[in-house]
Amino acid sequence: MIYRIVSKILLVGCLFGVWGMLMACGAETVPPVPTETSRSVVTYEYDTTTLQEGQIGYQAFCTACHAPDAKGLTGLGANLVDGDFITTRTDEDVLAFIIAGRAADHPENVSGVAMPARGGYPNLSDDDLLAIIAYLRDLALNDI
Ligand code: HEC
């Protein structure tokens, strides 16, 4: 009789142990909720041709405001290398930003200077811009 009671207590104890382990594992596998401060770096594998096209495009259409090294010019374009704007966004998100631009009076504008839609060159295609984004991401990631 005593033996049966003891074995029942042991069984219940084991079940609690297993439950506890499951709860502990469950807690570890809950994915972290992304927040503004914990956004992680987004990386891609680009081919050399895209990066070269992007460099040519950047130098032709963006250097006037963002500087040849993409580190920005005071009173003109923002620093695209040291900030985390590009590295924490997908290509699609950066593309959407460049297509739209950011007016000087936009609530998120930090410099009071406008970022023109498509850099001010409406003829630049989405693919042209994606190559430029590839080049800039490569620059920014190499600078981290
Ligand atoms: C006439 C000047 C001008 C040109 C040309 C220009 N930009 Fe900009 N860009 C700006 C300004 C000014 C800002 C910052 C706006 C602000 O203060 O929020 C900016 C911001 C950006 C940002 C966001 C950076 C951040 O941290 O907020 C990206 C990305 C960007 N530009 C990409 C480009 C690309 C790519 C080109 C070329 C196709 C380009 N820009 C051409 C003026 C320019």
Residue 77's contacts (CB-CB under 8 Å, 6 or more residues apart) are 62, 65, 66, 67, 113, 115
Residue 139's contacts (CB-CB under 8 Å, 6 or more residues apart) are 70, 80, 81
Say yes or no to pLDDT of 142 above 80.
Answer: yes
pLDDT at 39: 75
Q: What distance in Å separates the CA atoms of residue 99 and residue 123, rounded to the nearest whole number? A: 11
Q: What distance in Å separates the CA atoms of residue 133 and residue 91, rounded to the nearest whole number? A: 7
Pocket test for ligand 1, best of 39, 42, 66, 99 (most atoms within 8 A of CB): 66
> Is pTM, for the whole model, over 0.85?
no
Say yes or no to pLDDT of 78 above 50.
Answer: yes
Atom of ligand 1 at shortest range from CA of 132? 35
- How many angstroms is it from 79 CA to the middle of ligand 1? 8
User: What confidence tens digit (pLDDT) does each residue in 17-53 have?
Assistant: 555 554 554 555 665 554 455 579 999 999 999 999 9
- How many angstroms is it from 27 CA to the middle of ligand 1? 42
pLDDT at 6: 54
